[in-house]
Amino acid sequence: MKLSNKALHPRNKHQHPYDFAALCTAVPALSAFVRDNGYGQLSIDFANSDAVKTLNQALLKQLYSVAHWQLPEGFLCPAVPGRVDYLHYLADLLALLNKNRVPTGSKVQLLDTGCGANLIYPLLAQAEYGWKVTASELDPVAAKAAHLLIEQNQLQHKITLRQQPHSSHIFHGIIQPTDLFDLTLCNPPFHTSAEQAAAGSERKAKNLGYKKAELNFAGRSHELWCDGGEVAFIKTMIEESQSYAQQVLWFSSLVSKQDNLPALQKQLTQLGTEHQVINMQQGNKQSRILVWSFMPQKQRQLWALFRWQKK
């Protein structure tokens, strides 16, 4: 099985340029940031962190019925189109076991590893598919901000937040003995140091034509880097995933660099998993999802039968 695309997922609502008239109606404060981009089109200054945050508020409210969204200063501000793409491709994995129909509603259980202060994946997952989400977070400040979003949007029945007590653990301390998850997702820290993270932000700013990296490229240290970078982080995730082989249908993680895949795929092969890479592309940005399962195909089909296909 191979899934790939050259553009946004077909179900992604962001196929066309932003409708700023509709977005400003949803969140009038956005109007202060909208301007002509010099090509006869409306846009915002994407180097302005306040503009980007307000755009996210409008997108989430207009397209996903998320009435309240805010982000504390210094935390990573996510790009909504790319985040929801990840979810759509994970949904396709489930559809392959469900007569090509994406299973929806709270019968589907998703684990977001490291939800951050923005809580973006849980918010989008419940909005698009009605899935029930367990979100984990290490940083107590981020966890507090995420908890506030759950309360403000009255999503306590759809999103559960769990604090990760150990900085060296990913699944340990989060997945409980009675848990069953259909999917896990993760957007891991991909730099190896604070210096590398800063250099990456500067390159991103330069590529977009800005003189320096502004706050909309920000992120606290645990969001952007860890010892060993994303390879070390995902290797730890794969190692820990063995303990939950019968509790999770599909594990997954974003992998930012193509060159990092061989080492991760070698580890998964040695563990006897079925794994694959789903390629994604948002504009000029290319990314990929690494997914793996310890369950053979027949067991996955039984999982789907008893969890989603029951009358």
Q: Please provide the DSSP assignment of 167-184 as one string.
A: TT-SSTTTS-TT--EEEE
Q: What is the pLDDT of residues 154-168, one digit of tens each?
A: 999 999 999 999 989
Q: Assess contact for 288 and 279: CB atoms under 8 A.
A: yes
The reported pLDDT for the residue numbered 197 is 43
What percent of the chain shows pLDDT beyond 70? 85
pLDDT tens-digit map of 83-103: 999 999 999 999 999 999 999
pLDDT at 38: 85
The DSSP letter of residue 80 is: H
Chain-centre distance for alpha carbon 273: 23
| Cα atoms found within 13 Å of the Cα of residue 100, Cβ hemisphere only | 0
Strand ranges (DSSP E) for the chain? 35-36, 42-43, 109-113, 132-137, 159-163, 181-186, 248-255, 274-282, 285-293
Q: In a 3-state reduction of DSSP, which class is residue 122?
A: helix
- Pairing outcome for strands 109-113 and 181-186: parallel
In whole angstroms, give the CA distance from residue 239 to residue 22. Answer: 46
Q: How confident is the model at residue 219 (pLDDT cuts 50, 70, 90)?
A: very low
Cα(289)–Cα(183) distance, integer angstroms: 13
Does position 221 have pLDDT exceeding 50, yes or no? no
The predicted pLDDT at position 186 comes to 96
Please indicate whether residue 289 or residue 214 has the higher confidence score (pLDDT): 289
**DSSP secondary structure code for residue 191 in this structure:** B
**Which pLDDT belongs to residue 162?**
97
pLDDT digits (tens, 9 = 90+) for 12-25: 999 999 999 999 99
Residue 201: the pLDDT is 46
Q: Give the pLDDT band (50/70/90) at residue 283.
A: confident
Residue 142: per-residue pLDDT: 94
Which among 109, 117, 91 is positioned nearest to 159, based on CA atoms? 109
Compute the average pLDDT of residues 214-221. Answer: 46
309 three-class SS:
coil
Q: What is the mean predicted confidence (pLDDT) over 294-310?
A: 92
Mean pLDDT along residues 268-274: 97
